[in-house]
Every structure is written in C-alpha cells, then in structure tokens.
Amino acid sequence: MKPVYRWMLGLAALTGLAFVSGCASIAKVGAAVGEATGTLTPQQAESLVKSAEAVEKTFKDITPEQEYYIGRSVGATIISTYKVYDNDEATRYLNVLGQSVARFSDMPNTFRGYRYLILDTDEINAFAAPGGFIFISRGMIRLCTTEDDLAAVIAHEVGHVQLRHAVKAIKSSRLTSALTTLAVEGTKSLGGEQLAQLTTAFEGSITDITATMMNSGYARGQEREADRAAITILQRMGYRQGALVDVLGRMGKALQTDQRGFGSTHPPADSRIKELLPIIDDTKTPVPTAARKKRFDRLLQGI
C-alpha cells in the first residue's frame, strides 16, 4: 500500500475512534491507531504524542475553574497594591450594574460569576482579572458623567474577560511545566514535589498577568477587541454606544497630564475612537430614564 493510503486509512480509523471516545486524548488515540495500522514506528508514535502534547500545553488547557483560581490570586495581588474603597452602597450598585452587563456578554457565566470592587485611588484605571474579578478606580468612575459611561468602561473590562486576554499573558513556558506536573498527577491529591512545581508555575502566571495589567498593558489589538466586545454589549442592553467614545476622549485628555495607570498601559485614545466611530449606531438606543440618572448621581456623590 502506498504510504498516502496507509495514512488515510489511519486517519479514517482515527475519525471513527474520535467519535466513539469523545473526550479521549486525540493525540494519543491518533498515535495508537497509526502504530496499530503500521503507518508509524513506535518511535514515531511516541514522538507524535510528545509534539501533540506540547501543542496542547497552551492557555487553552486552562479551564474556567483554573482561571478562577488564577483570578483570585491576581485580584488579591491588585488589592495588595491599591486600597479598596469600602462603601457597601457603591459596591452594591457597581455589582448590580456590572453583573447586568456581564449577563449580556458572550460569556455570561465565568466559573463562579463576575464580581466588582472599587479601588480607592485617584488614578484613572480598571483591571479585569481572569474569571471575572473586575476592579474600577475612583478616578475612573469620576471620569464618567452618566451610567452609560460607566457601563461602557465595565463592558470593555468584561470584554477582556470573555476574550481571555489575561490568561493569554501567561508565558507558555510556565504552562508547559505546570502541565507536565499534571500528566503524572491524575486525580490524586498532589504530592509535595508536584505541588511545589505547580505553585511555582502558578506564581509565575500571577506575575505575568499582573505585570501585563499594571505595567506593560495588553496589546493594542486586544484593547480594540475589548472595545468591539463592549459596543456589542452596550447595544444589546440599550446603553448609548457613543458613551465608550466619550469616556475614551475624556481619558485621552486627562492622561495627557497624568501618565500613571491607564495612560501608561493603554494605546492612545484617538486611534481607538477612530476605529469605533464607524461601528457605533445609537439611532435605536432608548432614552435614559430619570431613575437611571438618579442612581448614578447617588454613586458619584460619595466618589
């Protein structure tokens, strides 16, 4: 049999097996099939398993449950840098608004849901940790003049969560070491050495994410993706899509003189606004009610 046919037979058998096995590791099944049909030597099969496993060792292997644990530690690290604005009423309002926004995103359910806190700083900033732990600074809230503006800021952060930008900031080498540990772990409780390896990878992941969020910032393309996700959410909810442009414009002005926080980690507002203008359509946006204005003004009074 010509090699090409043997490969195709192997592939056909693999397709059948994949349907049957469903969740089994395709890489291993593939190699086993290749070996059984004589298309691969045992060494080639072994090599295929290894290379396929290497490909699998990416951020895609981070489950929502693991993202949740990463998010908790990233959030705790942020809170250890900034003070929390401890005001029950303001926090409650932000969570009702924020959890409403999240419900209209393409990822309404993270592992344990979206949560919000206000950071007690004048710095204009917002952070979205994996799993939906979102932090908005008082400086950022003060920049908002309406609930629509704040909804736009939140929707942008939810966009980062649904697009998993923070998780993508983890260096793949860390995940490789973590997943090697996983391969021997099985469903057992972790042994001392395995736990130490995993914790090292975990610490490294937290460092990668917080360094990206607090120092270097996401790639410009990722900011634009989050902006587009925000517009979709605002449109679905009936908030004014132009609010995102307004906030970006105000941010651009404010940050000309203040390079802390957002200014140092985000691309210039002008280029983002330019990309948003063609996709914004507020012709069908409902008129805000007096109640909407009142509840937002109440938040601003304390901020």
Q: How many H-runs (helices) and E-runs (strands) does the chain carry? A: 15, 3
Q: How far is the CB of 57 from another protein (least distance, A)?
A: 11
Q: How far is CA 73 from the centre of its chain?
A: 14
Q: How far is the CB of 300 from another protein (least distance, A)?
A: 16
Site string for another protein, 167-186 (x = CB under 8 A): -----------xx--x--x-
Of the ranges 19-27, 33-41, 42-50, 212-220, which one interacts with another protein (CB under 8 A)?
Answer: 19-27
Where are the alpha helices (H) located in 22-85, listed in sequence order?
A: 26-36, 42-56, 64-81
Residue with token string 């398993």: 49
Q: Provide the 8-state DSSP code for 205.
A: H
- What part of residues 261-300 is at the interface with another protein (CB under 8 A)? 286-289, 291-292, 295
Q: How far is the CB of 272 from another protein (least distance, A)?
A: 25
Q: How far is the CB of 236 from another protein (least distance, A)?
A: 7
Site string for another protein, 197-226 (x = CB under 8 A): -xx-xxx-xx--------------------
Among the listed residues 50, 92, 220, 253, the single contact to another protein using CB under 8 A: 92
Of the ranges 44-52, 215-223, 237-245, 251-259, which one interacts with another protein (CB under 8 A)?
Answer: 237-245
255-291 as b/e: b if 16+ CB within 10 A: beeeeebbbebbeebeebbeebeeebeeeebeeeeee
Among the listed residues 58, 87, 95, 264, the single contact to another protein using CB under 8 A: 95
Q: How far is the CB of 76 from another protein (least distance, A)?
A: 5
- What part of residues 101-160 is at the interface with another protein (CB under 8 A)? 103-104, 106-113, 115-117, 133, 147
Largest separation between any pair of C-alpha atoms in the chain:
80
| Residues in binding contact with another protein, number by CB under 8 A | 79
Among the listed residues 27, 190, 214, 219, the single contact to another protein using CB under 8 A: 190
Of the ranges 42-50, 79-87, 256-264, 268-276, which one interacts with another protein (CB under 8 A)?
Answer: 79-87
Cα distance between residue 137 and residue 263, in whole Å: 14
Q: How far is the CB of 70 from another protein (least distance, A)?
A: 6
Confirm or reject binding of residue 46 to another protein (CB under 8 A).
Answer: no
Cα distance between residue 101 and residue 135, in whole Å: 14
Confirm or reject binding of residue 162 to another protein (CB under 8 A).
Answer: yes
Asked whether the beta carbons of 130 and 166 are under 8 A apart, the reply is yes
How many CB atoms are located within 10 Å of the residue 217 CB?
16
What interhelical angle do 290-302 and 147-162 show, nearest 10? 80
Residue closer to another protein by CB (options 13, 269) is 13
Torsion angles phi and psi, residue 233, rounded to 5 = -65, -45
